[in-house]
Amino acid sequence: MPQRTFRPPLPGGLLFSRNDAIILLLVGTLIYFGVRLAFNAPAVIQGPDIILEPAVLPYYALLSLGRMLAAYALSITFSILYGYTAARRPGASRWLMPILDVLQSVPILSFLPVVLLSLTAILPQRLAVELAAIILIFTSQAWNLTFSFYQSMITLPRELREAAAIFRLSAWLRFRALELPFAALGLIWNSVMSWAGGWFFLMAAEIFTLGSRDFRLPGLGAYLQTAASQGNTPALLYGIGTLVLIIVLLDQLVWRPLLAWAERFNVSQVENDQPATSWFLNVLRRSHLMDGFSQWLVAPVSRAINTAFNRPAQIIPSLEPAENIMPRPLARRFLRGLGFGLLLLGLGLGAYEAAQLLLTLPLQSWLTIAAGALATFLRVALAVVIALLWTIPVGVLIGTNARAARVLQPVVQIFAAIPATALFPVLLLGLLSLPGGGNIAAVLLMLLGTQWYLLFNVIAGASAIPQDLKYTSALLGLKRWRRWRILILPALFPYIITGLITASGGAWNASIVAEYTHFAGKTQQVTGLGALITDSTASGNYALLLASTLTMILIVVLVNRLFWRRLYRLAEYRYRMDQ
């Protein structure tokens, strides 16, 4: 098989293609229409009271867990379908990956008021707020899962692809027996990160104030936010303790069993001498009840799904005369062109109206946006560099050492899942007395909210290094830096790039809560694009909100095009696990 060569991420070395321009135009138009629809929302909305008694915590935790589970189910379904389509459909990645770049660059908390207000304009208030909370949590969970699955699809080892071709596996069998198992470990680790990201934004999802409109839902996030806003330290500690308990239970009963179960999917010719273990998985394997459940429910459902999706295509001869068949491609092209023309017309009208709204901003506002964008960019770069320095060695230690993993894995999951937004107001009070304390606090919160994306991807990559390659490096006497340079870093490279893409996007999103905080009746903000978005949201300045949001989207897409996407292409064509 000829060796594939490196290709630039965009044809002709262009920074933006026509597809990118259409996608950016579409997203900007949708944001504008959402803002216009938001004008029709009720002028005054009063949310329910949040009780800070410890007795309500189990009920609040159950409500939040249900929203997280609904958002995760939506996220994993979206990620697999989207990643598979982008990797397997010819030409699909030219559209779908730029769309994903734009979507993960949309600031979550500037997207929330548009969703909330537009939904309350057309749906009952409680249903609208519930759907908006689930959508917000979904946007904090889906992108890293999608990037992870797409990365696994495009870096599938050559021998596995050749085996699937030799055995003539159908598309469904190839997905079920090859592609999904190969991606399983990365998906599980990124699922841990997705839940941590969901907990991070849960406070914003369950309680949100926009002028005289008070959107809130009873839940653990609203409990923590209310306790932080009132400066009620005992209630805040009760809420964090409840959250930590949930995280520990999820680690022991869900994530650790899944990681131990996924060990079977490692691409290696030698069995791991230190496999991941789980006491709960051992209990399930020895349980007669689970055997019966698997035999009488799981197996029949699995067979039914295989039968439904693995059915060979039937060739049914057409009964229509040839003259009725020939014009169909022309009619299809006409309908496609008509639909595309209507789409462009709608985009043109929306872009014109959005431009009219943006033109209402004075020059001083645009200069403020430019200064804020530069300040936020520097904070994001600093947070990503700091995260890169410590997550790689720690991630490799956890991913390659079972003893260290048993101790550090639950600790890391607990710290990753504790919402930094709950602790940040308390940390802020101690940092404000330092020179540049506001900027230090903003970088710290960005770091707390994004470093875990990189860490969990590094752990997944280190766990996926084949055991036979580790033995070979030991036999060759590769030690310390040579082992890192020849084996570990090349094997981790695709996972590091995936983590960096999602971490940098997450840092831009975290800037919205890092640069503008409200605690115990006091507001603290620093110069930055995130602070502008939060301030314009609170004041209802939709022109400034639209301009700031579009600026952040454009910057994140530019960074992805100039830097991350090129490294992603390098990972795809040079650092594959082909043996």
What pLDDT, on the 0 to 100 scale, is given for residue 10?
40
Return all residues near 48 (Cβ < 8 A) that are at least 6 apart: 216, 217, 218
Residue at 526 is within a domain:
yes
Residue at 337 is within a domain:
no
420-472 per-position pLDDT tens digit: 666 666 666 666 666 777 788 888 888 887 888 888 889 888 887 877 777 77
- Smallest CA-to-CA distance from 145 within 502, 559, 533, 549 is with 502
* Cα 398 to Cα 404: distance, rounded to the nearest angstrom: 6
Residue at 328 is within a domain:
no
Enclosing domain of residue 469: 18-279+356-573
In this structure, the number of other CB atoms found within 10 A of the CB of residue 577 comes to 20
State in Å, rounded, how far the first CA of the chain is from the last one.
Answer: 13
The CA-based diameter of the chain, rounded to the nearest angstrom, is: 84
What pLDDT, on the 0 to 100 scale, is given for residue 424?
64
What pLDDT, on the 0 to 100 scale, is given for residue 497?
85
Q: Which stretches within 464-540 are classed as H helix?
A: 467-475, 480-483, 489-514, 529-539
Residue at 335 is within a domain:
no
Find the helix or strand (DSSP H, E) in which 383 lies: helix 363-400
Residue 209 is encoded by which pair of tokens? 């104030």
Residue at 344 is within a domain:
no
What pLDDT, on the 0 to 100 scale, is given for residue 297?
79
What pLDDT, on the 0 to 100 scale, is given for residue 91?
74
What pLDDT, on the 0 to 100 scale, is given for residue 518?
63
- Smallest CA-to-CA distance from 103 within 20, 36, 32, 186 is with 20
Residue 556 to residues 106, 446, 560, Cα–Cα distance (Å) = 9, 15, 6
In this structure, the number of other CB atoms found within 10 A of the CB of residue 546 comes to 22
What pLDDT, on the 0 to 100 scale, is given for residue 466?
76
What pLDDT, on the 0 to 100 scale, is given for residue 322?
43
Residue at 483 is within a domain:
yes
CA Rg value for the chain? 25
* Cα 202 to Cα 243: distance, rounded to the nearest angstrom: 11
Q: What is the number of domains present in the chain?
A: 1
Q: What are the two backbone dihedrals, phi and then psi, of residue 490, each rounded to the nearest 5 degrees?
A: -60, -40
For position 201, which CATH number holds? Answer: 1.10.3720.10
Residue at 339 is within a domain:
no
* Cα 480 to Cα 182: distance, rounded to the nearest angstrom: 28
Residue at 90 is within a domain:
yes
- Positions of the chain with pLDDT lower than 70, given as ranges: 1-48, 105, 107-114, 116-118, 121, 208-214, 267-276, 311-347, 350, 417-434, 518-523, 540, 572-573, 575-579
